[in-house]
Structure 1
Amino acid sequence: MKRILIVDDSELMCGIIKGALRGLEEDNVIFVATNPLIAIRKANLFKIDLALIDYEMPYMNGILLIDYLKEINPLTKILMVSAYTQPSAQITLEALNRGAVDYILKPSNTEEFNEFKKDLLEKVKYVLFQNGYTSYGLKKKDSTQSTTTKNLALQLYKDKSLLVERVRRSKVIAIGISTGGPPVLEKIFTSLKKDFSIPILVVQHMPPTFTKALAERLSKVSQRQVKEAEDREKVENGVIYIARGGVHLAVEKILGKYYIRLLDNVEKVNSHKPSCDILFSSVAEWYGENATGIIMTGMGCDGANGLLEMKKQGALTIAQSKESCVVFGMPRVAIEKGAVEAVLSVEDIIKILNEV
């Protein structure tokens, strides 16, 4: 049994969220707080496993409330309930940096209520019960393929110089990431050596307004050139490109030079747009063995097939370790498919990149 706290000054939104949470199969205790002061009182009285928090509320905002709840119980997991707007995107990124594990977008109209409830249930299940849930229904298994892949990953990891050399040969690094991603990207980009010159392409599952805010934040904190990718722009050394929300990110090679392509008319892949699979498959086609693919924290299976294509073309493929993931869904599926050569923590990924 889990204790879930809903914090929102809108009684309507509290009712919608509470109704959605009835879809959980487990018996849980659900508390409702219509302002942060009530939330703090309940958090002091009960061990809260998960808090779903709005931002604009009386007495204090959601960011300050995160600090209070984390001080009361550092193990309390937090989901921000965010709007689609640009200011909300900036606030949500700050919340993720302060300890929120993920966010859920508020429905902007009545047609979006069902989708909101579905997304909310899925995220709550992963956050609260991820040891019992795997990527989109995939069952945990210790298959021969999975075991072989893990052994290969451990064996390759022991030869650190081989990893460094293979990254050094890369003309691009492609990163696929989702739940828990922004703080991880911030940590990597702020830790990279100043003269790191290999271009980096990133698909972070986010809606349109959020990816622009993410690029701006990462550029500011890392003091590097981080930008939202634009169609047909040349891929330049030393630049980090963030896929635009709602548009797939791909690359193509023309007359020996690489260019960004944004695919607006292509449908969602694995329920995502942008999709990590699209990016990885494109990199596999145009860069071949001269690339490194990294699949990181996130729910679901997006990226596994594309990463396997990269591996078959001779590219180096890396998965973030389970211990360093917020959600080990995407890396685990990639490992089980045999798409991964090395399993590394975020710290080890940074070390490898900085030795290139």
Structure 2
Amino acid sequence: MSTAVSDGTTRAVVVDDSRFMRTLIRTLLEDSAVEVVAEAGNGSEAIEVVSEHQPDVVTMDIEMPEMNGLDAVEGIMERCPTPVLMLSAHAEEDADVTFEALDRGAVDFVTKPGGEVTSEMPRVKRELVEKLRSAAAVDLSKTRGRSRPSTTSRQRAKPASKPSKPTSADSLPEGSTLIVGASTGGPNVVERVLATLPADAGLRVLVIQHMPKGFTKRFSTRLDARCEYEVKEATDGERIGPGQIRVAPGGSHLLVTGDRAGQLRLALSDDDPLHGVKPAIDLTMASAAETVKKPLAGVLLTGMGRDGVDGMTRISRAGGYTVAQDEKTSAIFGMPKRAIEAGCVDAIAPDGSITEEALRGLTS
């Protein structure tokens, strides 16, 4: 894996078949003190350039001649494992390809800058640089070729004040609610967590994954195909009941505004980003802590920054149960670490044990 130069500068390789786009991305990155050490015009060149320069991170276009971005990601992961940030066109039809790139080893994605200089360019630049630095911080040894963690490797964040009970869906109180938050490195972990939720548990589940507008709908479809619950992108004003999962739409905050007759009422907010993100985990968790009347659990997965720390704190103060992904299996142990340091986490668990731990907390 690559290492940053001694002064801490992030070193990047830019891959795109358009010379104009390579120049634009280079300019945006170098204006933010990111060193672009090389460029490549197709996937084959990318593999060679990355092997030669050993950067900290790669920005990768998807559609290119000779070898596309998907095959290039695979080649880089086989020959010289390096965090790859995909640049995806802002269109729903490109979402499938983008998620396939994540399946092949890319760590995150960002929507591709437009060619025109507009008032949106500062926001585009900020998002690109933040995503790139976050991707560069990913430890690939924790995301590639890892077997499913044993459920016996769970560790406690603090002495248990609640008795440990066997995990049983039958013993879950009706109307139990689970809130799952994740950022960089999260999509595949979220899939694994939700895939292990037993259908008879009848949970009401909300997922907040930091993801651009236009991609959360496809993410919801992927999740729906991988778990026993009904998964959809959340809509404003809807109500959800047991066995249903809703994903916060990119570009909107997701709030819980009511809990009546076993159903949660949801609302979408267009308020400003919080912690630079929209949707924000904190807002969903905080609204759930204030509103949900039945047992509540919060889960905070891999990601950089501190989104989710306040939300987990509020869930804990409201009597809910909180679980953080452990350092060993987190691509970026940022958000979970800060929540643990804040003292609001009941249990720390590897990704393969998070579902079991959350269910145990809900039955306590």
TM-score range, shorter chain: 0.7 to 0.9
Deviation at 1:296, TM superposition (A): 1.2
Distance 2:137 2:178 in 1: 32
Is 2:51 aligned against 1:13? no
Which position in structure 2 is the counterpart of 1:89?
A: 95
**Does the residue aligned with 1:60 lie in a helix, a strand or coil?**
coil
Q: Structure 1 residue aligned with 2:71, among 64, 70, 87?
A: 64
Of 15-24 and 235-244, deviating more is 15-24
The structure carrying a bigger helix percent of its residues is 1
Distance 2:200 2:167 in 1: 19
Which position in structure 1 is the counterpart of 2:240?
A: 235
Of 210-219 and 225-234, deviating more is 225-234
Which position in structure 2 is the counterpart of 1:146?
A: none
Contact 2:210 2:277 survives alignment (8 Å): yes
**Does the residue aligned with 1:195 lie in a helix, a strand or coil?**
helix
Deviation at 1:306, TM superposition (A): 1.8
Contact 1:249 1:261 survives alignment (8 Å): yes
Q: Structure 1 residue aligned with 2:122, among 92, 111, 114?
A: 114
**Does the residue aligned with 1:317 lie in a helix, a strand or coil?**
strand
Is 2:261 aligned against 1:253? no
Distance 1:222 1:163 in 2: 18
Distance 1:43 1:268 in 2: 34
What is the letter of the counterpart of residue 355 of structure 2? I
Q: Go from structure 1 to structure 2 and tell me whether the alpha carbon gap of 1:180 and 1:254 turns closer, same or farther (over 3 Å shift).
A: closer
Which position in structure 1 is the counterpart of 2:206?
A: 201
**Does the residue aligned with 2:110 lie in a helix, a strand or coil?**
strand
Which position in structure 1 is the counterpart of 2:40?
A: 33
Superposed CA offset, 1:111-148 (max 9, x none) = 233222222322333333579xxxxxxxxxxxxxxxxx
TM-score by length of 2: 0.82
Q: Structure 2 residue aligned with 1:309, among 310, 314, 318?
A: 314
Which position in structure 2 is the counterpart of 1:145?
A: none
Distance 1:163 1:317 in 2: 16
**Does the residue aligned with 1:208 lie in a helix, a strand or coil?**
coil
Runs of 4+ in 1 over 6 A off after TM superposition: 162-165
Distance 1:39 1:8 in 2: 9
Q: Go from structure 1 to structure 2 and tell me whether the alpha carbon gap of 1:175 and 1:338 turns closer, same or farther (over 3 Å shift).
A: same
Which position in structure 2 is the counterpart of 1:335?
A: 340
Superposed CA offset, 1:85-105 (max 9, x none) = 002222211211221111122
Distance 1:50 1:253 in 2: 43
Contact 1:193 1:354 survives alignment (8 Å): no
Residue pairs, 1:159-238, within 5 angstroms? 160-161=164-165, 168-169=172-173, 171-222=176-227, 224-238=229-243
Q: Go from structure 1 to structure 2 and tell me whether the alpha carbon gap of 1:219 and 1:157 turns closer, same or farther (over 3 Å shift).
A: farther
Contact 1:52 1:78 survives alignment (8 Å): yes
Question: Which ranges of structure 2 fall in alignment gaps of 5 or more residues?
Answer: 140-154
Q: Go from structure 1 to structure 2 and tell me whether the alpha carbon gap of 1:339 and 1:154 turns closer, same or farther (over 3 Å shift).
A: closer
Distance 2:271 2:340 in 1: 27
What is the letter of the counterpart of residue 209 of structure 2? Q
Deviation at 1:153, TM superposition (A): 1.2
Is 2:286 aligned against 1:278? no
Distance 1:313 1:222 in 2: 29
Is 2:160 aligned against 1:156? yes
Distance 2:282 2:166 in 1: 26
Deviation at 1:58, TM superposition (A): 0.6
Question: Which ranges of structure 1 fall in alignment gaps of 5 or more residues?
Answer: 132-150
Deviation at 1:313, TM superposition (A): 0.8
